[in-house]
Amino acid sequence: MILALALSLAAPDFQSVAALDTIVTQFTGKEIGEQGGAIAPIDRRLKLASCAAPQLEWRSDTHDAVVVRCMAPAWKIFVPVAAVPRPKVATPAPMPANVVVRPPVAVKAEPVIKRGDAVTVEAGAAGFSISRQGVAMNDAPPGGRISVKIDDKQPPLQAIAIEPGRARLPGFAEGS
């Protein structure tokens, strides 16, 4: 009798694998053997140190296994799950070998102001506006940069093309 008591006191305390099966079932929401649940019960021969708070998480996004982890004492096991089949994403049909794929061609906007055109350059804010006449030094689409020569003695101004014959200085809102 004393020998049995001594052996029971010396025997280490192991984690109940039946309790682990229960928390895995709760985690997956499916019974053992069901689609989405554990494939089989955890092996009863497994001897894990007792854990007060086992943590569970999916091994991956495919939900093919549950990771049961204990922080103290440290151990972890993987419980295989009968993963629920996910619908396959339709893949485009392969192209025939004789088809040549070309990158899209950028459509170049037509210039609204062309080199040599007379241009009115405007600037303004609430309460004032100013404009000057000049000559375009290059072509520009709407919103594009353009150099405008105002005076032969000064370098050209940089402006933004708005419409034919009209540009504004950068930093000044249109319609000010």
pLDDT digits (tens, 9 = 90+) for 125-147: 888 888 899 999 999 999 899 99
Is residue 79 within 8 A of residue 66, CB to CB? The reply is yes
pLDDT at 5: 44
Condensed to tens digits (0 to 9), the pLDDT of residues 64-119 reads 999 999 998 899 999 999 987 777 766 676 767 676 767 777 777 889 999 999 99
pTM: 0.45
Condensed to tens digits (0 to 9), the pLDDT of residues 30-47 reads 999 999 999 999 999 999
Cα dihedral across residues 42, 48, 54, 60: positive or negative: negative
Question: Taking the CA atoms of the chain, what radius of gyration do you get in angstroms?
Answer: 39
Is residue 105 within 8 A of residue 97, CB to CB? The reply is no
